[in-house]
Structure 1
Amino acid sequence: MMHLTDSTVLNNGVHMPWFGLGTYKAEGAEVAKAVATALELGYRSIDTAAVYGNEEEVGQSIAASGVARDSLFVTTKVWNTDQGYDTTLRAFETSCKKLGLDVIDLYLIHWPGQTLYKDTWRALERLYGEGRVRAIGVSNFQIHHLEELKKESSIVPAVNQVELHPRFIQKELRDYCTQHQIQIEAWAPLMKGRLQDNELLQGIAGKHGKTVSQVILRWGLQSSIVIIPKSVTASRIKENSEIFDFELSADEVSAISGLDAGERIGTNPDNLLF
Structure 2
Amino acid sequence: MEQRQFGTTQRQVAIIGQGTWKIDNDNRNSAIAALRQGLDLGMTHIDTAEMYGKAEEIVAEAISGRRDEVFLVSKVLPSNASRRGTIAACEKSLARLKTDRLDCYLLHWRGQHRLEDTIAAFEQLKQEGKILSWGVSNFDVSDLEAVYKIVGDNNIACNQVLYHLNERAIEHAVIPWCEKHNVAVVAYSPFGQGNFPSPHSDEGKVLQKIATAHNATPYQVALRFLVRSKSLFAIPKAANSKHATDNAGAGKLNLSENELAQINDAFPIGPRPRALPML
> Shorter-chain TM-score category?
0.7 to 0.9
Give unpaired runs (5+ residues) of structure 2. Answer: 199-203
* Number of the residue aligned with 1:208: 214
- Indicate whether 1:255 and 2:262 are aligned: yes
The TM-score normalised by the length of structure 2 is: 0.86
Gap change, CA 1:222 and 1:261, over 3 Å in 2:
closer
% identical aligned pairs: 32
User: What is residue 238 of structure 1 aligned with on the other side?
Assistant: 245
Shift of 1:190: 1.4
Give the AA of the match of 2:178.
Answer: C
In the other structure, the counterpart of 1:97 is: 95
Equivalent residue for 1:129? 127
1:55-204 residue pairs with structure 2 within 5 A?
Answer: 55-63=56-64, 66-67=65-66, 69-153=67-151, 156-169=155-168, 170-171=170-171, 172-197=173-198, 198-204=204-210
How many pairs are equivalent? 263
Distance 2:161 2:278 in 1: 15
Aligned to 1:24: 21
CA distance in 2, matches of 1:211, 1:263: 29
Partners of 1:243 and 1:104 in 2: CA distance: 26
| SS at structure 2 position matched to 1:46 | strand
> Which one is further off, 37-46 or 166-175?
37-46
1:262, distance to aligned residue in structure 2 (A): 4.5
| More relative contact order, 1 or 2 (CA 8 Å, 6+ apart) | 2
Moved beyond 6 Å, runs of 4+: none
SS at match of 1:52: coil
Does the CA-based 8 Å contact 2:16-2:250 persist in structure 1? no
Indicate how the Cα distance of structure 1 residues 270 and 10 shifts in structure 2: closer, same or farther if over 3 A, else same.
closer
Query: Contact 2:16–2:247 (CA<8 Å) still a contact in 1?
Result: no
Equivalent residue number for residue 12 of structure 2: 15
Counterpart of 2:201 in structure 1 is none
SS in 2 for 1:103: coil
TM-score relative to the length of structure 1: 0.87
Question: Which residue matches 2:51?
Answer: 51
DSSP 3-state at the match of 1:167: coil
**Counterpart of 1:226 in 2: which secondary structure?**
strand
Distance of 1:114 and 1:237 partners within structure 2? 37
* 1:206-227 alpha-carbon deviations (Å, 9 max, x no partner): 2222111000111122233111
Cα offsets for 1:187-222 (capped at 9, x unmatched): 011113523322222222222221110001111222
Cα distance change of structure 1 residues 219 and 201 upon mapping to structure 2, 3 Å threshold = same
Alpha-carbon deviation of 1:261?
4.0
